[in-house]
């Protein structure tokens, strides 16, 4: 799964966050590539999904790459830094959806791979 763990919460795909519909959470929210499946997915968004990869980790932060995909291929990417002690992203992600998913990914990563 792109966020390592399954998550519940708010759908931030549209302009206003809503409670993510339970029947779509696993298939769409937690897997990505929801275009044409989820009625809340913005039709004008070129991205199909967001993927996250850790490129470095220290005792104080995580460096990750955020990859935007379209039709299962990379569209663009950017690097972000997450502060472990402050539990926050130090890098602006550009939108609420990306920010929320990056935060969920970092939390999942730390729970799963903490030493």
Q: How many domains does one find in the chain?
A: 1
Instruction: Let me know if residue 65 belongs to a domain.
Output: yes
Whether 14 maps to a domain, the answer reads no
The candidate with the shortest Cα–Cα distance to 14, out of 33, 50, 38, 31, is 38
Distance of alpha carbon 57 from the chain centroid:
18
pLDDT digits (tens, 9 = 90+) for 78-96: 999 999 999 999 988 888 8
Confidence of residue 1 (pLDDT cuts 50, 70, 90): low
Distance CA 38, CA 58 (A): 37
Residue 37 lies in a domain: no
- The residue segments making up the domain with residue 102 are 47-113
pLDDT for position 62: 97
Considering the domain boundaries, does residue 66 fall inside one?
yes
| 68's tokens | 């935007």
The verdict on residue 2 lying in a domain is no
User: What number is the average pLDDT over the span 62-66?
Assistant: 96
């Amino acid at each position: 799964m792109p966020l390592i763990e399954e998550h519940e919460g708010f759908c931030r795909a549209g302009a206003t966050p809503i409670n993510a519909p339970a029947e779509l959470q696993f298939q769409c929210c937690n897997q990505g590539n929801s275009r044409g499946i989820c009625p809340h997915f913005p039709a004008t968004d070129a991205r199909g999904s967001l993927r996250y990869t850790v490129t470095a980790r220290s005792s104080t932060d995580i460096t990750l790459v955020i990859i935007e995909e379209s039709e299962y291929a990379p569209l663009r990417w950017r690097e972000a830094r997450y502060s472990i002690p402050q539990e926050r992203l130090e890098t602006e992600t550009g939108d609420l959806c990306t920010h929320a998913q990056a935060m969920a990914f970092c939390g999942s990563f730390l729970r799963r791979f903490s030493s």
